[in-house]
Amino acid sequence: MAASREQRIETRTRNPKWQNVPLRIEMAECINCDACLRHCPPQFGAIFNHSADVVIIPELCSGCDKCLPACPVNCIYPFPAWEQLGSPEQWWDEPLAESGGGYRS
């Protein structure tokens, strides 16, 4: 059985069954419209507002691409190097603060 979103948050691991690479937002191109956040399926809940930025936590992103057509400036890209580059530690505060980080259930 696949790990639940809560388990992925707790262990900070990506579901090994996901075949698509996670996505990333190029913050220099992002206009902070939050369209991607609204289109991320709640079972993944990978996109968050983090301060002035909108971020995708790779371990929560299935690579489903639902956010891509929603983005008016096309600033979302595949992130094949996610395991080597990782994401900042402080991004993990967002999924734990379910009410204010931007994730919508």
The pLDDT of residue 86: 82
- Give the domain CATH number at 17: 3.30.70.20
What is the rounded average pLDDT of the residues 81-105?
75
In a domain, 103, yes or no: no
Residue 89 half-sphere exposure, CB side, CA atoms within 13 Å?
A: 0
Mean predicted confidence (pLDDT) in 62-82? 97
Does 82 map to a domain?
A: yes
On whether residue 102 sits in a domain, the answer given is no
* In-domain check, residue 60: yes
The structural domain count of the chain equals: 1
Residue 18 lies in a domain: yes
Q: Whole domain around residue 84: which residue ranges?
A: 5-96
By the 8 A CB rule, do 63 and 23 touch? yes
Q: Which residue, among 68, 55, 52, has the nearest Cα to 95 in the 3D structure?
A: 55
Q: Which amino acid is at 35?
A: A
In a domain, 105, yes or no: no
User: Tens digits of per-residue pLDDT, 11-30?
Assistant: 999 999 999 999 999 999 99
CA-CA distances (angstroms) from residue 14 to 9, 27, 87? 9, 22, 13
